[in-house]
């Protein structure tokens, strides 16, 4: 899934040349993936309670593998767009299903498990620019990428066939966490919209940004890989840290450091070192935010399948709005607009973390007061 969702960014220049379109037109594929991701997440949230999470995962893995094949072999923009629809919808349903099942299996203490699961997404995303770069270098095509994704898909489907899917647990007397109120669902969804918008906007366009700032050869692919390596490393580090620190502490510091990384890139202008440092720091700061925010909610409130699906769906909307906006700006003002836009989005996300935390605490405290009155 990490390879499939991160395929498009390092393939922008290849697709421009191969399909005969501009960067802005290729950028529409980010929107196609994000819009499809939204609908996939909503569908996945329904199917996981009806058929079980592992059934949804098997469908999703097969579908996004076929989507990668369509993009890899696309001779026209229409084929690439169809591949983007498959990748987006399939990864949406798998993303929603995986997060739901981890929260159900580790109710109230999901932080380490969520970070471990999301770590492997980061590993796949790290491999994506390297595989794309080598595929184009050796064959002048993307078809080797589809072979790699297909190989891991077969392994995943085989493993899933041997395991039982977790289902929503009953509330134990010593683990009473009220269900997430609609107001808090909306507020958490807004955070994910901002976070994923910034992350996808950066990861999707950093390759193009590095090329435009004068980094030649395979260096743009390596800068993208540095971002994803730092991203994956942060999720690895977050596994033990989530057992020591509260989720709010980790998310707050991570959001703050993401702003620092972006400001280094912006202040360094076209300096190559600032690009490398900024990409690495922003990647490290972005890594733990998604799983730890889910853990922050799960710490005090109960996540249903539908609530999780809407949150993942909102993340997809962020992944639609920000990358497409950046693509349009790159065509008109240039790629230097990318870190500026992402900085603005992430600054809003940083402030919004504390709005979410306040609402979670209020909802949890209100439920405890009601329980005391009833007793």
pLDDT tens string 175-223: 456 777 888 999 999 999 999 999 989 988 898 899 888 888 888 888 9
Q: What CA–CA distance (Å, rounded) separates 224 from 204?
A: 9
Backbone angles phi, psi at 184, to 5 degrees: -70, -35
Whether pLDDT at 161 is above 80: no
Better-scored residue on pLDDT, 246 or 165: 246
**Partners of 302 in the β-ladder:** 179
Predicted pLDDT of residue 351:
95
The string of pLDDT tens digits covering residues 282-301 is 999 999 998 899 888 888 87
Q: Cα(366)–Cα(274) distance, rounded to whole angstroms?
A: 47
Q: How far apart are CA 110 and CA 247, in angstroms?
A: 11
Residue 256 pLDDT: 95
pLDDT at 247 over 50: yes
Better pLDDT: 37 or 107: 37
Position 173 pLDDT exceeds 70? no
Q: What Rg, from alpha-carbon coordinates, does the chain have? A: 20
**Between 35 and 368, whose confidence is greater?**
35
Q: What is the pLDDT of residue 176?
A: 57
pLDDT of residue 17: 87
CA–CA separation, 300 and 108 (whole Å): 7
**pLDDT the model gives residue 237:** 92
Structure confidence at residue 218 (pLDDT): 81
The CA–CA distances, whole Å, from 233 to 116, 127, 168, 238 equal: 11, 13, 31, 9
Q: Has domain 2-163+176-374 been given CATH number 1.20.1250.20? A: yes
Q: Kindly report which listed range (46-60, 95-109, 200-214) carries the lowest average pLDDT score.
A: 95-109
Q: Does the structure show a pLDDT above 80 at 165? A: no
Q: What angle do CA 166, 169, 173 make, to 5 degrees?
A: 155
- pLDDT for position 177: 63
pLDDT, average across residues 144-163: 86
Please, which pLDDT band fits residue 167 given cuts at 50, 70 and 90? confident
Q: Is the pLDDT of residue 172 over 60?
A: no
Question: Where is average pLDDT lowest: 10-19, 105-114, 170-179, 316-325?
Answer: 170-179
Torsion sign, CA atoms 171, 177, 180, 181:
positive
Residues 6+ apart with CB under 8 A from 333: none
CA atoms within 13 A on the CB side of 7: 31
**What sign results for the dihedral spanned by CA atoms 66, 306, 356, 99?**
negative
Angle between helices 219-241 and 289-298 (to 10 degrees): 30
Q: Which residues contact 81 (CB under 8 A, 6 or more apart)?
A: 28, 29, 32
Position 174 confidence tier, pLDDT thresholds 50, 70, 90: very low
3-state class of 179 per DSSP? strand
Could you tell me which residues come within 8 angstroms of residue 254 by beta carbon, excluding any fewer than 6 positions away?
234, 285, 286, 287, 288, 289, 292
Among 186, 196, 185, 203, CA closest to 315: 196
Domain boundaries, the chain: 2-163+176-374
* Chain centroid offset of residue 266 CA: 23
What H or E segment, with its residue span, contains residue 223? helix 219-241
**For residue 47, what pLDDT is reported?**
87
Mean model confidence pLDDT for the chain: 86
Alpha-carbon distances, residue 72 vs 152, 225, 270, 334 (angstroms):
16, 20, 32, 27
pLDDT (mean) for 145-150: 91
């Amino acid at each position: 899934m990490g390879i499939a969702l991160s395929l498009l960014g390092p393939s922008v220049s290849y697709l421009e040349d191969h399909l005969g379109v501009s960067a802005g037109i290729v950028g529409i594929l980010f929107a196609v993936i994000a819009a499809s991701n939204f609908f996939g997440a909503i569908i996945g949230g329904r199917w996981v309670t009806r058929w079980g999470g592992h059934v949804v995962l098997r469908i999703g893995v097969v579908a996004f593998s076929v989507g990668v094949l369509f993009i890899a072999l696309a001779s026209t923009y229409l084929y690439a767009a169809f591949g983007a629809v498959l990748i987006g919808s399939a990864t949406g349903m798998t993303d929603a299903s995986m997060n739901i099942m981890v929260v159900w299996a580790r109710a109230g203490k999901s932080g380490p498990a969520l970070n471990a699961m999301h770590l492997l997404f980061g590993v796949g995303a790290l491999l994506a620019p390297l595989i794309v770069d080598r595929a184009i270098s050796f064959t002048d095509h993307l078809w080797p990428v589809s072979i790699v994704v297909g190989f891991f898909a077969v392994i995943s489907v085989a493993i899933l066939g041997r395991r039982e899917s977790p289902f929503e647990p009953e509330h134990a007397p010593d683990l009473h966490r009220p269900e997430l109120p609609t107001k808090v669902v909306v507020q958490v969804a807004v955070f994910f919209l901002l976070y994923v918008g910034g992350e996808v906007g950066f990861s999707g366009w950093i390759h193009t940004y590095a090329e435009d700032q004068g980094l030649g050869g395979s260096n743009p692919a390596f800068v993208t890989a540095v971002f994803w390596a730092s991203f994956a490393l942060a999720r690895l580090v977050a596994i033990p840290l989530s057992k020591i620190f509260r989720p709010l502490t980790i998310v707050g510091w991570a959001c703050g450091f993401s702003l620092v990384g972006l400001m280094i890139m912006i202040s360094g202008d076209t300096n190559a070192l600032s690009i490398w440092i900024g990409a690495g720091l922003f990647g490290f700061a972005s890594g733990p935010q998604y799983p730890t925010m889910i853990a922050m909610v799960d710490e005090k409130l109960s996540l249903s399948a539908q609530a999780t699906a809407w949150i993942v769906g909102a993340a997809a909307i962020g992944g639609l709005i920000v990358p497409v906006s950046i693509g349009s700006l790159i065509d008109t003002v240039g790629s230097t607009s990318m870190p500026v836009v992402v900085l603005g989005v992430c600054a809003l996300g940083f402030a919004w973390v504390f709005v979410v935390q306040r609402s979670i605490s209020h909802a949890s405290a209100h439920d405890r007061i009601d329980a005391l009155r009833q007793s």
